[in-house]
Amino acid sequence: MISRDTESPVERAYRYVLRLLGVRDYSIAKVRQKLQAREFPDLAVEEVIHRLQSEGWLDDSRYALRFAEGALSSGRYCGVRLRMEMRRRGLAADLISETLAPLMREYDEMSEVRSAAVRRYPGFSFAVASDRDKRRVVGFLQRRGFRLSAIMQALRTEE
Report d(CA 117, CA 1) in Å as an integer. Answer: 56
Asked whether residue 1 carries a pLDDT value surpassing 80, the answer given is no
Where does the pLDDT of residue 150 fall: very low under 50, low under 70, confident under 90, or very high at 90 and above? confident
Q: In the chain, what are the domain boundaries?
A: 9-55, 60-105, 109-156
The answer to whether 114 and 150 have CB atoms below 8 angstroms apart is no
Q: What does pTM read for this prediction? A: 0.74
Local confidence band at 96 (pLDDT 50, 70, 90 cut-offs):
very high
Helical ranges in 4-108 per DSSP H: 9-23, 28-37, 42-55, 60-74, 79-88, 93-105
Q: State the pLDDT at residue 3.
A: 53
The pLDDT tens digits for 106-142 are: 777 888 888 888 888 998 888 889 999 999 999 999 9
Per-residue model confidence (pLDDT) at position 34: 95
The tens digit of pLDDT for each residue in 25-63 reads: 999 999 999 999 999 999 999 999 999 999 999 999 999
Say yes or no: domain 60-105 is CATH 1.10.10: yes
Cβ-based neighbours of 35, under 8 Å, separated by 6 or more: 13, 16, 17, 44, 45, 48, 49
Cα–Cα distance for residue pair 92/84, rounded to 1 Å: 11
Nearby residues of 91 by Cβ (< 8 Å), 6 or more positions away: 27, 29, 60, 63, 64
CA distance 27 to 155: 36
Interior angle at CA 91, CA 90 and CA 97, nearest 5: 150
| CATH code reported for the domain at 9-55 | 1.10.10
| Closest to 40 (Cα-Cα) out of 21, 14, 65 | 14
Intrachain domains 9-55 and 60-105 with the same fold: yes
Residue-level pLDDT at 4: 60
